[in-house]
Structure 1
Amino acid sequence: MLLYQLPDDILYLVLSYLDCKSLSRLSQVCKKIHNFANRDAVWRSIARECINTGMTRQGTDMYPQIPLKDRVRVSQNWRRGHHRKEVLLKWKTNLLPWIQLDRDVLYLSQAADIGAYHLRMEGGRIRRPAAVYSGHQEDVCRFVLTDTHLISAGGDGKIIAHHRWGCQWVELCGHGQEVNCVDSQGGVIVSGSRDRTARVWTLSSEQLGGCLHTIPMLDRVWSVAISPSQSSFVTGTACCENSTPLRIWDTERGQLVTCLGGQFRHGAGVLDVAFESPALLLSCGHDTYIRYWDLRTSARNCVMQWEEPHDCALYCIQSDGNHMIASGSSYYGVVRLWDKRHTRCLQSFQLSPPTSSPVYCLRFNTSHLYTALATALFALDFRGHVTKVRR
C-alpha cells in the first residue's frame, strides 16, 4: 500500500509526528500528498505552538480564510525578525495618536479627528481617509471599535459614540476633565478620566448615553478594559495616591470586586490593560514590567512577568491570544516581541532614531505590525519581503 492510499485518520496520525520543515518536503512528493499535506487539519497542532498564527488558547481561529500553512511560514519571519519597514503616513506636529485595526481598514486619531484608511495588500503610503469621525473640541485620547459604533474619548471631557456607517453620533458628557481611556462591549461603555472617576454608560436604545455608575477613584485613571464575559471590568490608575492601581469592578453594580497584586511602588501607573480571556489579563505601565494575571485563583496573583531591558515605561501591549505579546516602549519607538514561554525578549525593532518618541499604540495581524509614533505611522511587513543587506 502506498502512503497516500492509507485511510485519512491513519495518515493524519503519521503526519502529526512531522515538523513544519518535514511536512513541506513531504508535500513535494506528488500531487495527492501535496493536497493532503496542505490541509489545515495537518498544520493545526503546529500552528498552536507557533507565535501569531491566529490560533488562540481557547482553540478559536481568528483568520480562517488564510491557510494555516501560510500562517506558519509567516510566523517563522516574526520569530526571526525578518521584515520590511514602511512609513505609511507622516505629519509635522507632535501628536498622541491611537490606532485600531479592523481587517483591511486602519483607524487613526490625529488631533481631534479620527480617519479610516484602507490598507493596500502591496503596501505603500496611505493617502486620504475613506471616512473622518469628528466632534471633539480637543485631541482624541483613546477610541474603541464595536460592530456598530466607533467610541472616542477626548481631552474636552466628552465621549462620542459615532455610528460607523453614518453621520449619526451621540455625545456623552459627565467627566470634568480629559477622558484618558475608554472601552466598550455588549452595549456598555466604560471610561476613565483625569478627574479621578470611572464611569459606566449604556448604548441601549432605551437609555442611549445614560450614565449607569460613577465610581470615585483616588488617582487619575489611565486605562480600562471590559472582560469578554462583560460581567466585570478592570481599571488601571496612576498609583500616586493608592498602592493598588489595578482593580476589578462589577459592571452591573459598579462595586469593587478585588484588587490585583500587592504594593506597587509610587508612580507605577498602569498605562494599558488587555483581557485575553475572562480569566487572563495583561497589564503594563511605568514600572517597566508586563504582568500576566490569572483571575481564576483566589489570590488573583501575577503568574508571569517580563521586564523591559532598557528600564523604560511601556505604553501599550497586544497579545495574539496564545504565545506572543507585542509591547511599545516610551523611548526611540522601540517595539518588542515576547514569547510567553521565555523570559527574554524575542525580537526588538527601533522605529524612530535619532529622535525619541514613544510608541503610543500598536496593532498587529498575522502579517503586519502597525505602530503609531508622535509624527508617523509605521508598518512592519513580515510576509517575507526582506531587503538584502550588503556585507
Structure 2
Amino acid sequence: MLLLSHLPEDVLYHILSYLDYKSLTRLSQVCKTTYHFVNRDAVWRKTAKEFLNTGITRNGTDIYPSIPLKERVKIAQNWYDGVCKKAINLKWKTKLLPWLQLDGNVLFLSQAADIGAYRLATDSGKLQRKSLEIYSGHKGDVCRFVLTDSHLISGGSDGKILVHSRRRDMSMELSGHNQEVNCLDSKGGLIVSGSRDRTTRIWTLTSNCPRDTIPMYDRVWSVAISPTLRSFVTGTACCENLSPLRVWDVERSKSVCSLGLEFRRGAGVLDMVFESPFQLFTCGYDTFIRLWDLRLPRKCVMEWEEPDDSALYCIQTDGNHMIASGSSYYGVVRLWDKRQTKCLQFFQLSVHPVSSPVYCLRFSSSHLHAALATSLHSLDFRKNPIRIR
C-alpha cells in the first residue's frame, strides 16, 4: 500500500494545495511525519494568500518571513472575526495631532514637537514606556513624518522640514514653506512636501533648497510618491474649482492628469497610499475609500463608503485583501475586505462623550496601533486565538 508520505514532495505539494486551512491542520495531526511536512511555509502559502493580513502580498512577497505561515493564518482568522484584546499604551493630557510609523518592533510616535522611538516587546507587543530615542528640532508641532532606511523626515507647523539621520547624530533643516507642512513623502532620496501655503515642493536629500516649487492654488493635505519614482500624487482641500487629486511628473514638475471630476466642494483628500505602481488608495472628508487604477484611462475602479458618514483620516493596506481605516468620530477603526463593499469589522476606541479622530494607524501581522488626540491604542489579535480543529 502506498502511503501519503511515500509520494514525491512535488506531488504532495500539489495535492495539499487543494485543501483548506482546517483540512491542513487536521492532516498535520495524523503523525509526526505529516506534521513536519504540513507545517512548512510552502504548504500554507496558497492558503495564506486568501486570508487577511498574513503578510503575503498580491505579488507573492512575504512581509514577515520570520513568522511561520501556519501561525499567521490562525491570527488572520482573528482579524476576520474581530477577536482581539484592546489596550491603551500611552496617554497624554494635551490634545495633539499625533502621527505613527512602524519599523519592525519599533514604533515611532510624534507628540507635539518631538518624535519618540519606542520598542515593542516581542512576546506581548506592549510598548516600552522609555523611548529609545527622541527626534526634536521643530519650533511647533510635528504634522507628519516618514521613515526611510537611513532617515526620519518630519514636517512641522513651523513650516520647516527636518531630515534626521537614523545612523548618526546629525540633522538637516529644509526651509521653504511659510505655513505648516501638512504632508510629505520620501523615496529613493526624493522628498515631496505639501503645505497649507498652497504649494508642493520637491527636494532631494543632498540639498536644503527645494528643487521645484509647484503652485497648487489650494491647501495640500496629502502626498504620495509612486514606487517607480517617476510620478507623485497630491490631495488638496477641494476648496477651489480643481480636482483634489492630481498626478505629477517628477522630472518635469508638471501635472499629468486629474483623478475624478465629481468631488463635491470640501471633499479634501486626507490620506493616500500606493499599493503598487498603478494602484492608489485614497480617503478623506467625503467618507469614501477609493481605489484608483493609474493605468490609462486612469479611473476609480472600486470604492468603500464609511457607514456612519464620518470623514476618514487615515488608511493602510496589507498589500493583499485588507484595508484598515480611521474615522473622525469616537476613535472608530474599521477593517475592510477588498473583495466585498461592506465593512468587515469595527472597533470604537474612545468612549462617549469623549470623541477623537483616529489620526493615524499602523499594523503588523498581529497588532494594530492607532493614535488618537490624547492616547495611543493597540489591538492584539493574538489573544483568544481560534482553535482549528
Shared fold (TM-score greater than 0.5)?
yes
Deviation at 1:124, TM superposition (A): 3.8
Q: For residues 52-75 of structure 1, give each alpha carbon's deviation from its aligned partner in whole angstroms, at most 9, with x where no partner exists.
A: 011111111111111111111100
**Equivalent residues in 2 for 1:23-62 (5 A)?**
23-62=24-63
Task: Say how many residue pairs are matched.
Answer: 383
1:63 aligns with 2:61: no
Query: SS at 2:49's partner residue?
Result: helix
Q: Which residue of 2 aligns with 1:144?
A: 146
Residues 190 and 203 of structure 2 are in contact (CA less than 8 Å); yes or no, is this contact kept in structure 1?
A: yes
Residues 175 and 209 of structure 2 are in contact (CA less than 8 Å); yes or no, is this contact kept in structure 1?
A: no
Residues 219 and 242 of structure 1 are in contact (CA less than 8 Å); yes or no, is this contact kept in structure 2?
A: no
Q: Which residue of 2 aligns with 1:274?
A: 273
Question: Which amino acid letter does the alignment assign opposite residue 80 of structure 1?
Answer: D
Residues 176 and 209 of structure 2 are in contact (CA less than 8 Å); yes or no, is this contact kept in structure 1?
A: no
Q: Which residue of 2 aligns with 1:185?
A: 187
1:318 aligns with 2:316: yes
Distance 2:167 2:360 in 1: 24
**Equivalent residues in 2 for 1:126-145 (5 A)?**
126-145=128-147
Distance 1:250 1:213 in 2: 12
Taking every aligned residue pair, what percent have the same amino acid on both sides? 66
Query: SS at 1:236's partner residue?
Result: strand
Distance 2:29 2:58 in 1: 31
Deviation at 1:24, TM superposition (A): 0.2
Distance 2:239 2:306 in 1: 22
- Which is worse superposed, 140-149 or 258-267? 258-267
Q: Which residue of 1 aligns with 2:258?
A: 259
Residues 332 and 358 of structure 2 are in contact (CA less than 8 Å); yes or no, is this contact kept in structure 1?
A: yes
Q: For residues 164-199 of structure 1, give each alpha carbon's deviation from its aligned partner in whole angstroms, at most 9, with x where no partner exists.
A: 133200000000100000100000000000000000
Q: Which residue of 1 aligns with 2:94?
A: 93
Residues 233 and 248 of structure 2 are in contact (CA less than 8 Å); yes or no, is this contact kept in structure 1?
A: yes
Q: Which residue of 1 aligns with 2:245?
A: 246
Distance 1:337 1:312 in 2: 15
Query: SS at 2:75's partner residue?
Result: helix
Q: For residues 310-336 of structure 1, give each alpha carbon's deviation from its aligned partner in whole angstroms, at most 9, with x where no partner exists.
A: 001000000001100000000000000
Residues 89 and 126 of structure 1 are in contact (CA less than 8 Å); yes or no, is this contact kept in structure 2?
A: no
1:335 aligns with 2:337: no
Q: For residues 81-139 of structure 1, give each alpha carbon's deviation from its aligned partner in whole angstroms, at most 9, with x where no partner exists.
A: 00001111110110000000000000000000000000113244531211000000000
Q: Which residue of 2 aligns with 1:155?
A: 157
- Which is worse superposed, 110-119 or 251-260? 251-260
Question: Which amino acid letter does the alignment assign opposite residue 313 of structure 2?
Answer: Y
Query: SS at 1:261's partner residue?
Result: coil
Distance 1:141 1:384 in 2: 33
Residues 119 and 127 of structure 2 are in contact (CA less than 8 Å); yes or no, is this contact kept in structure 1?
A: no
Distance 2:134 2:267 in 1: 35
Cα pair distance change 1:168/1:331, threshold 3 Å: same
**Equivalent residues in 2 for 1:367-386 (5 A)?**
367-385=366-384
Query: SS at 2:302's partner residue?
Result: strand
**Equivalent residues in 2 for 1:164-313 (5 A)?**
164-204=166-206, 208-296=207-295, 298-313=296-311
Query: SS at 1:211's partner residue?
Result: coil
CA RMSD of aligned residues (A): 1.1
Question: Which amino acid letter does the alignment assign opposite residue 134 of structure 1?
Answer: S
Deviation at 1:212, TM superposition (A): 1.0
Q: Which residue of 1 aligns with 2:9?
A: 8
1:81 aligns with 2:79: no
Question: Which amino acid letter does the alignment assign opposite residue 289 of structure 2?
Answer: I
Residues 125 and 367 of structure 2 are in contact (CA less than 8 Å); yes or no, is this contact kept in structure 1?
A: no
Distance 2:271 2:318 in 1: 16
Residues 113 and 136 of structure 1 are in contact (CA less than 8 Å); yes or no, is this contact kept in structure 2?
A: yes
Distance 1:36 1:125 in 2: 36
Query: SS at 1:57's partner residue?
Result: coil
Distance 2:244 2:373 in 1: 27
Distance 2:132 2:375 in 1: 19
TM-score for both structures, normalised by structure 2: 0.97
Question: Which amino acid letter does the alignment assign opposite residue 188 of structure 1?
Answer: L
Deviation at 1:151, TM superposition (A): 0.1
Query: SS at 1:78's partner residue?
Result: helix
Query: SS at 1:49's partner residue?
Result: coil
Distance 1:263 1:2 in 2: 63
Distance 2:373 2:219 in 1: 23
